[in-house]
Structure formats: structure tokens, C-alpha cells
Amino acid sequence: MPLGEKQGWEKSDSRYCGVETEFDDDMPGVLTSNLSPGFFDFVVAPLMNPTYRPSLVEKDASGSSPVLPFASSDLVLDLSQWSSHVVGKISSWIDLDAEDETLRVDSETTLKQEIAWASHLSLQACLLPSPKVTSCANYARCVNQILQGLPNMQLWLRIPLVKTDEDAMDENSRKIVDSWEVWNSFRLLCEHHSQLSIALDIMGSLPSVSSLGRWFGEPVRAAMITTNCFLTNARGYPCLSKSHQNLVTAFLNHSIQVVISGKPLHSVPGSGLASNGSNVNNQSVPSSFSHLSHPLKSYLDYIGFLFQKMDPLSEQELLKLGFRDCLRSPLQPLMDNLKAYTYENFEKDSMKYIQILLYHRVEHSMGSLRVLHVCQCCKVLMVVGAGRGPLVRASLQAAEETGRKIKVYAVEKNPNAVVTLHSLVKLEGWEDIVTIISCDMRHWNAPEEADILWTHRTTTGFQKLRSTLELWYTSFIQPVTASKLYSDVKSNKDIMHFESAYTVKLHNIARLAPPQPLFTFNHPDYSAKKSNERYKKLRFKMPSDAGSALVHGFAGYFDAKLYKDVHLGTEPSTATPNMFSWFAIFLPLRTPVCIQPGSDLEANFWRCCGSSKVNYVVPCFSF
């Protein structure tokens, strides 16, 4: 049963909670025991008897091995049940980097057999055991080999979320080991394969907030929470510390599934279960216990409670759901004619039109009441890039509310949108107020000077329209870990896509350092040299407590001053709230850069202009 019903969360994996189980030949019984109504949504179950070792299997006279001791036949469940309710758990004893040759060979054989069996069952995912040592080259080599021929199944590498202190010591080197370092070395050897992801083992103590932040840019699919992490509240029920609550809530917000593991450690009032997981008569709880109770039900209920406490998504966020971490080529309205659905999406962004209305505040002559109205000197208003007319409508509405008379020029190059504009003007009776100009604004010679100028676009091409236009806008840049975005770019298997910029509703990313201003453009600009080429070198300082991280690219934002104190932008610290028609830019790096805690990341940015296009060049390195 999903953790709860929330608007916009119906298709999110975070609604589902799983349970880690022990090996059991009776797989139907395992599902019945754990997935009954009100219980868990899926099980993470071993597929093979843990006592099995290939080297111990006796061969018959012909030299062939007998049938392997898998959990059960694939016929005991429908394929839909295998696919929807079972995550295969690969035997935890395997060690492909062991010095003992027999163990190493057995491990490789078993790993390939179990994943082949899981693929045969059409499982969606398999949980790989944690690397036994920091140096796991052979393990990664074998997994990478398997991934090359693995269709549509995810491999979750189990990684313990340990603190980077004396609790995380490698037995061989006795040096501090960061679990992220283990993951990073493993995925680099697997060439950033999109089907390799992470299952984080959550411990009782957590790393710093900065260190935790790195994981939200990585492909984390599951958070394994052991019962040891839970505290006991005043009523005897399990609960989590505030830091663990925040972490679980953040996981849920990033569509990361929670998996409960371990034995019950709480004696829940009225459950009849003692803190050791036995009932009050000291009888152990069987694998097929009563449908009326589950020894881990109270832990599941608590995760459901955290899910229900989460703030519901706003209407604006619901509109953005389908755009999260989805690469899109930036719109080119000066080069291409936009489609009706693009205009429709823009027009849903009411906050943008509210924000860009240009108002003055004046004192009312009858007292201290303040009223908002369009600038008194306004006579001529130009909407440059009018589209289907939302800015025209907003300006005339403002003029009507404040008793101002205005003359509007609606300039639009898209002939299809011009048809809509003519229909709108005729429908509203604006023929004497609005003049429609079917022309590229860069080639239009305005018959008079504008008092107010509204546009969605850069102002370089129409600087001549108003001599007193004052406007500036600044671009900002920020290094990010964005494993999904990088994998999506890499999947195209060409250099061209790495040399492109993308608009993205950023979600599953880790912001590694605060954004820094990059290029600023001022209008009007009457300097002798009017080149829009730019160059700047930026240096980002990595937090010393965050641990190492991988820079997959840069997120780009903007902040624009439209009029006096009226701003519009996407830079996170000053972003216009509830605005969704402008997303961030993602600039991918062809080769991700690994950065160490406390180190500097230096990046050089060139904005190169040609006769038909603008290019950005972004080399960077860490030191």
C-alpha cells in the first residue's frame, strides 16, 4: 500500500516503501506476509540459498553440475508479480576482489548466475552487495561487463552512508574512507552506465549536511533504513531524530524509495511484540505471520507519517513535474516560429506577467493610502515579441484600472501568432488602441519613441526603439553534480550534445558552491565598441566539510532589472517565486571533474559571437 495519496505524487517512486527480507524458499509466502493490504509495496529478497558455493557443487559423471539451488521456480509467481514486487538481493558473501582465488572465482560465477536469473524473472532491479574494500577494480570490471548486455534492469550498488572520520576506516590502509569515494571509483570504472545506481545504507549517525547534499545529484534509487536508526518516543513507538527526519523527507522529495531492514527493536503498545522481535510468549515471529500484524508495521507507519507531513506541491510545481531533469534545447524565438503549445505554457505563468507590470507608487491626495498605477507620462507602449497577446492584455488591463490612456504597438514576427493577435484585437474591440506590426523587431523602424517597452527577449536588437531605456541583466553560474543529466547527454554518444546548452527544471542535482555572477549586459549601450563577446575566469571554493564530489557541468541563471526596483530572475537566492516558464541552463562538461573538499575549482567562460549564433566555451580544472 503506498505511503499516501498526494496530488502530483501518483507516479513518484517515493510513494512506495519496501522491506528487506531473509532467504525463503516460499516466495509466494514472502509476498503474502509482507505485501498484504496496509503493509509494504515490495520486498528486497535473496534469489539464491546463501549456503550455495559453485566450488562446492559436485559434478556428475558427465562433468555437468546439477540444478542450481535457486529460491524457487519462476512459475510460483506471475511475471507481473516478479516485476512489480520483488527486487533481487545478490548474495552478500560475494567478494570479487578477495585475495583467495576460490572465493574470487565463486563470487564472479555467482554474481553472473544471480543477475542472469533476475533478468529471466523480468525484475526491475537487483541490489548488489557493498564493495568489501576501497579498491574494487575487479568487482567493477565484472559489473561493467554484465551491464553491457543487461536489458532494462537497474543494478543498485549498496553503499553505506558513513561519516568521514574514524568510523570509516579501510582495514588495509587504515586511512579515512569516504563512502562517496568508493561509489565514484566504482562508477568511473563502469563508465557512468545509466543502469548503475545507488542504494544508500542509512546509519545511526549522519555526515554533515554539506556532505549529505552531494548524494542528491547522484543516481540514488533507494534509502535502506535499519531499525537501529530509530529512537523511541514517549508512547513507545519508533521515531527518527530531527536530522534523520530531514534526510528521509529530502529522499522522498527526490523520488527515492525507502526500504526498511533489520529486526523490530520496539515494543509497540498493543502489538504483542517485544523489543527483540518475539511475541509476549517468547515465541519467534514466523516468516508467514498473521495478516493482522507485521513486526515492522510501526516503522512503515512512521515513514508514512513523514510522507503525509510533507507540504503538498503548489499548482506551479505540479505544472513543472513533467519538466524535472528533462533536457530541452533552448527556444530560439528570433530564429524559429513557436508553436501554440509553447505559447500556452508561457501564458500559464501568471507570476511573470504580474512581476513585469511597471508601476509607480504615489501618495493619494486624500490621505496616506497608496495606489499603484502606470507611470503618468506613459503614452506609447510597445510590446516587442507580443506572441498571442498576454502582455498586450495585461497592459490594457492596467491602463483601465488606473484610468490611463495608452497607445500600444504589438510587434510579432511569427505570422501564425499574428493571426491570433488580430482575432484578439477584434474580439476585445481594441482596433483604435492596438496597432499590430507583423515584422521582426530587429528590422522595424518605429514611427515614434516608446515610453514603456515590454519584451520576453534580449534588448540588443531594439535598442533604437527608445533612447531612455535603462535595463541590465546578469548571468550567474554554479558548478553542480547532475548524474542523470550527464547520463542523458552521454546517451547520445556524440560530441555535439556535449557542446550544447540545455534548459532544465533542475531537481536531482547537488549544488556544490554558491552561484557567482558571470556576464552583465546594460541597455542602452552607446559605447564605441559594441561587441557582445565576453570572457571571464571564476574560481569556486569547495566547502571543507562536504567531501569530494564530481562536477558534471554548470547551472546557469539570470537576474534582470526591468524598471527601478522591479526584478525578474532565476538565480536561486533572488528567484522570482512561482515562475516556471524560465528554467535554468545546464552546460555539461565532456569530462566530469573530481574536486576535493576545500579545494578550488577554476572555470573559464567565453561568450563568442558569430554572424548567426552565439557559442559558450567552458573549460575548467580543480586544484
State how far the Cα of 254 lies from the Cα of 252, in Å rounded to an integer: 5
The reply to whether 505 sits in an annotated binding site is no
DSSP H or E segment with residue 600: strand 600-609
What is the torsional sign of CA 74, 76, 78, 80?
Answer: negative
Packing angle, helices 137-148 and 101-120, rounded to 10:
30
Contact indicator for 506, 583 with CB cutoff of 8 Å? yes
| 352 known ligand binder | yes
Sequence-ordered list of residues with C-beta below 8 angstroms from that of 168, at least 6 positions apart, any chain? 162, 176, 177, 178, 179
Is 341 known as a binding-site position?
no
CB 226 within 8 A of CB 262: yes
What does the DSSP assignment read for 72-134?
S-GGGS-HHHHHHHEEEE--TT--TT-SSHHHHHHHHHHHHHHHHHHHHTT-SEEEEPPPSSS
Grid cell digits, residue 116? 542472469
> Strands, E, within 374-501: which ranges?
380-384, 407-412, 434-438, 452-455, 471-481
Find the DSSP H helices in 491-588. 495-498
Q: Which of 322, 153, 306, 292 is nearest to 240 (CA)?
A: 306
Q: Please state whether beta strands 380-384 and 471-481 pair in parallel, antiparallel, or not at all (unpaired).
A: unpaired
Residue 440 among known ligand-binding residues: yes
Rounded distance between C-alpha atoms, residue 348 and residue 57, angstroms: 66
171 labeled binding residue: no
Q: How far is CA 482 from CA 50, 141, 321, 478, in A?
A: 37, 24, 17, 12
Count other Cβ atoms within 10 Å, centred on residue 227. Answer: 18
Residue with cell 505471520: 289
R_g over Cα of the chain:
30
10 marked among binding-site residues: no
Q: Residue 259, CB half-sphere, CA atoms under 13 Å: how many?
A: 26
CA distance 486 to 221: 17
To which H or E segment does residue 311 belong?
none
Burial label for 103, CB within 10 Å (0-12, 13-18, 19+), is middle
Binding residues: 343, 352-353, 412, 440-441
**Annotated binding-site residue numbers for S-adenosyl-L-methionine:** 343, 352-353, 412, 440-441
